């Protein structure tokens, strides 16, 4: 099945709607300006930020401002633009919504509040957006650090391939706040000038805000662009520093090209993440070369938009789609001289490309994640990769709750201590693991790390054969509150990098990948509860398309003293590759076939008394939840 981008919208400080943004790019207009004072940073900062009044003027819907946060308004604007271009109706049960963001409404996080504003939870803010449109299906939220946008497009594509939806609107957005700017500042990764990706002078990135949305469907018209392939990988190296070799981003690029059926010679240009930090661009130059794309024109759009985080993958992919149509590759604004270990064909000026056919778009992020997609002009589409449906069985399941760890129904560890810190340290020591990095992790990562230790006991696999697709309701809220407390009490300058790095939920996946050398797909969903139909269909399709032999899936959540893990280790018995020995455990069982996709937004039912839903988690630490 071929999936196309059939409508798109970009909402950024340089334009409302895709055409305005493309016009800005054509005339080398950047949204990046120096703000000596600002509402989102204690110190001067170069960023691409909306003027509030411009959003107000453009949003057209007058009552939007009073009821919805800036994040919600931007997503609503981008989706409205898509709906205006098409006959798509979100009340239609066959239409899905996937939303990508790193920090959503981080402006509302408040450590002093007795109860967090409900909209801090990404599933709640997404539900509000869904309700605004009267959507038949609840949005699915992907929070995968800086690859979120590309992740969400891959999720949208696979959900259509899996038959869950007939079409999907994928929307990504992030807005800048003290929370975000102080964190990047603590990493010393911000440039005081407009960023210059791949240039020898590059000294950091600039942040930007914006939203992007695309409509994905198998329908085709003369303006469609084919989303021909997509893949995700993990460095399994470090939670914040990029790989030193670029090998894993290269794996994602090759995976996406394999799905699209294209060879390096077919690629007309590469749109990289290109943040302009020293190490990111260095890594990308190596990855592009390993993927044999070093002869293609390479661009980064960050000098125009800044790094728009969870929106960047979508915004930049939309620009790529139009570049394919226009026969133009936009220049990497400001680029002067090469500064990467492997030479790349970067140009400051826009270039006409005569043989425009396919392009590769990449992204990399905290937690060691990488993503790549291939976009194609439909007339040059190659035969799609043929794969066999995954045959799943559960090799082992693990639950962690109430100072107790169970493998299947067997208790493998329990602690007398009801205090989380003591329990998790004891459980870690019982594993015989002497990794001192454990003590540096935040509580969510410690939980995931220990659970994975028990789950993967005696399991052997190749790095690319194992994936991790997990979810929870509150993301990384436990550590978000720590970071917010530090900056509100001591100022932005005292933000701690070792706290900030854990304010992304997918970093727990990164920690597990590093410890167990896992390099396959890694995706973090935010869901209200442990509902299984849609995510199971996704997991099944991801394992099939990425040729995963194993996948760690399930629920992983912690807030304050409350925690819950329910993870499964799945095996694809239809895996194609060197199978070696199969793993036999006492707990192995066939996986129940995912049921039909849920057609109505209903409250997920609790599956037995072990079920904990997100609402419960968010409110138990305090007394009530204020949905505004």
Partner 1 sequence: MEELIEKLKGELIAELNLEEVTPADIDAEAPLFGDGGLGLDSIDALEIILILERNYGIKIENPAQGKEIFYSVKTLAEYITANQKK
The residues binding partner 1 (CB under 8 A) are 186-188, 238-241, 436-437, 439-440, 493-494, 496-498, 501
For the bound state, the minimum distance from the C-beta of residue 277 to partner 1, rounded and expressed in Å, comes to: 11
How do the residues of the chain divide into helix, strand and coil, expressed in percent and rounded to 5? 35, 25, 40
Residue nearer to partner 1 on the CB measure, 413 or 428: 428
Q: What's the Cα-to-Cα distance from 511 to each of 32, 238, 289, 423, 519, rounded to whole Å?
A: 33, 8, 27, 19, 12
The whole-angstrom separation of Cα 173 and Cα 128 is 15
For the bound state, the minimum distance from the C-beta of residue 180 to partner 1, rounded and expressed in Å, comes to: 17
For the bound state, the minimum distance from the C-beta of residue 487 to partner 1, rounded and expressed in Å, comes to: 13
In degrees, rounded to 5, the angle at the alpha carbon of residue 502 between the alpha carbons of residues 149 and 436 is 130
The whole-angstrom separation of Cα 224 and Cα 322 is 10
Residue 127 contacts by C-beta under 8 Å, 6 or more apart in sequence?
A: 138, 139, 528, 601
Residue nearer to partner 1 on the CB measure, 94 or 496: 496
Residue nearer to partner 1 on the CB measure, 433 or 610: 433
Contact 217, 6 (CB under 8 A): yes
User: Which three-class secondary structure string do you get for 558-620?
Assistant: EECCEEEEEEEEEEECCCCCCCCCCCCCCCCEECCCCCCCCCCCCCCCCCCCCCCCHHHHHHH
Residue nearer to partner 1 on the CB measure, 294 or 496: 496
Residue 440 contacts by C-beta under 8 Å, 6 or more apart in sequence?
A: 498
For the bound state, the minimum distance from the C-beta of residue 279 to partner 1, rounded and expressed in Å, comes to: 9
For the bound state, the minimum distance from the C-beta of residue 340 to partner 1, rounded and expressed in Å, comes to: 17
For the bound state, the minimum distance from the C-beta of residue 240 to partner 1, rounded and expressed in Å, comes to: 6
For the bound state, the minimum distance from the C-beta of residue 188 to partner 1, rounded and expressed in Å, comes to: 5
For the bound state, the minimum distance from the C-beta of residue 194 to partner 1, rounded and expressed in Å, comes to: 19
- Taking the CA atoms of the chain, what radius of gyration do you get in angstroms? 23
Residue nearer to partner 1 on the CB measure, 337 or 437: 437
For residue 292, count other CB atoms closer than 10 A to its CB. 16
The whole-angstrom separation of Cα 438 and Cα 110 is 27
Residue nearer to partner 1 on the CB measure, 175 or 501: 501
For the bound state, the minimum distance from the C-beta of residue 391 to partner 1, rounded and expressed in Å, comes to: 40
For the bound state, the minimum distance from the C-beta of residue 402 to partner 1, rounded and expressed in Å, comes to: 24
Contact 508, 489 (CB under 8 A): no
Residue 523 contacts by C-beta under 8 Å, 6 or more apart in sequence?
A: 142, 144, 151, 155, 232, 468, 469, 470, 506, 542
For residue 31, count other CB atoms closer than 10 A to its CB. 23
Residue nearer to partner 1 on the CB measure, 508 or 567: 508
277 torsion bin: left (phi>0), alpha (psi -120 to 50), beta (else): beta
DSSP letter for each residue of 363-390: EEEGGGEEEEEEEE-GGGPPPPPP-PPP
For the bound state, the minimum distance from the C-beta of residue 368 to partner 1, rounded and expressed in Å, comes to: 13
Residue nearer to partner 1 on the CB measure, 130 or 246: 246
Strand partners, 90: none
Nearest alpha carbon to residue 90 among 4, 166, 158: 166
Residue nearer to partner 1 on the CB measure, 183 or 212: 183
Using the Cα atoms of residue 476, residue 543, residue 150 and residue 336 in order, give the sign of their dihedral.
positive
Residue nearer to partner 1 on the CB measure, 28 or 279: 279
Q: What's the Cα-to-Cα distance from 365 to each of 150, 242, 350, rounded to whole Å?
A: 11, 8, 27
Residue nearer to partner 1 on the CB measure, 496 or 625: 496
Residue nearer to partner 1 on the CB measure, 185 or 406: 185
For the bound state, the minimum distance from the C-beta of residue 369 to partner 1, rounded and expressed in Å, comes to: 17
Q: Which residues of 338-347 are buried (b: 16+ CB within 10 A; e: fewer)?
A: ebbebebbbe
């Amino acid at each position: 099945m071929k999936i196309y981008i059939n409508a798109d919208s970009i909402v950024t400080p340089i334009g409302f709607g895709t055409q305005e943004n493309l016009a800005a790019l054509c005339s080398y207009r950047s949204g990046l300006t120096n703000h000596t004072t600002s509402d989102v940073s204690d110190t001067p900062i170069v960023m691409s930020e909306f003027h509030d009044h411009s959003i107000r003027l453009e949003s057209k819907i007058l009552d939007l401002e009073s009821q919805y946060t800036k994040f919600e308004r931007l997503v609503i604007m981008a989706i409205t633009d898509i709906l205006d271009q098409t006959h798509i109706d979100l009340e239609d049960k066959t239409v899905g919504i996937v939303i990508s963001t790193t920090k959503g409404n981080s402006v509302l996080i408040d450590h002093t509040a007795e109860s967090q504003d409900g909209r801090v939870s990404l599933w709640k803010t997404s539900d509000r957006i869904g309700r605004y449109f009267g959507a038949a299906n609840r949005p699915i939220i992907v929070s995968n650090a800086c690859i979120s946008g590309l992740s969400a497009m891959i999720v949208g594509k696979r959900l259509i391939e899996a038959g869950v939806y007939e079409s999907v609107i994928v929307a990504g957005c992030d807005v800048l706040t003290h929370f975000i700017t102080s964190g990047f500042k603590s990493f010393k990764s911000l440039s005081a000038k407009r960023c210059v990706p791949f240039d020898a002078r590059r000294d950091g990135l600039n942040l930007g805000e914006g939203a992007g949305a695309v409509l994905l469907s198998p329908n085709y018209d003369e303006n469609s662009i084919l989303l021909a392939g997509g893949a995700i990988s993990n460095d399994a190296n470090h939670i914040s520093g990029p790989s030193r070799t670029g090998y894993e981003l290269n794996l994602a690029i090759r995976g996406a090209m394999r799905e699209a059926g294209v060879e390096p010679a077919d690629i007309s240009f590469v749109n990289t993440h290109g943040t302009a930090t020293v190490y990111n661009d260095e890594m990308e130059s190596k990855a592009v070369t390993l993927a044999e794309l070093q002869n293609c024109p390479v661009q980064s759009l960050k000098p125009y938009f800044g790094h728009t985080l969870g929106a960047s993958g979508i915004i930049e992919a939309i620009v790529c789609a139009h570049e394919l149509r226009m026969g133009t590759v936009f220049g990497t604004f400001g680029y002067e001289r090469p500064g990467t270990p492997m030479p790349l064909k970067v140009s400051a000026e826009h270039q006409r490309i005569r043989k425009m056919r396919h392009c590769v778009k990449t992204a990399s992020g905290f937690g060691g994640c990488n993503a790549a997609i291939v976009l194609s002009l439909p007339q040059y589409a190659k035969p799609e990769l043929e794969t066999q449906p995954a045959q799943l069985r559960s090799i082992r399941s693990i639950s962690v709750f109430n100072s107790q760890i169970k493998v299947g129904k067997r208790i493998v560890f329990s602690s007398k201590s009801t205090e989380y810190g003591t329990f998790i340290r004891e459980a870690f020591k019982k594993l015989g693991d002497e990794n001192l990095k454990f003590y540096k992790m935040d509580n969510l990562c410690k939980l995931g790390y220990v659970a994975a230790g028990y789950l993967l006991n005696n399991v052997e696999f190749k790095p690319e054969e194992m994936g991790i697709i997990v979810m929870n309701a509150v993301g990384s809220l436990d550590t978000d509150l720590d970071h917010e407390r530090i900056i509100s009490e001591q100022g932005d300058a005292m933000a701690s990098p070792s706290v900030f790095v854990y304010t992304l939920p997918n970093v727990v996946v990164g920690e597990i990948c590093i410890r167990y050398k896992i390099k396959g797909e890694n995706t973090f969903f935010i869901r209200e509860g442990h509902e299984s139909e849609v995510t199971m269909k996704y997991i099944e399709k991801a394992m099939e398309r990425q040729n995963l032999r194993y996948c760690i899936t399930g629920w992983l959540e912690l807030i304050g003293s409350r925690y819950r893990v329910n993870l499964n280790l799945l095996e694809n018995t239809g895996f194609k590759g060197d199978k070696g020995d199969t793993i036999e455990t006492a707990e192995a069982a066939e996986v129940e076939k995912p049921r039909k996709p849920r057609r109505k937004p209903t409250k997920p039912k609790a599956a037995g008394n072990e079920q904990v839903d997100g609402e419960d988690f968010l409110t138990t630490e305090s007394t009530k939840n204020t949905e505004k």
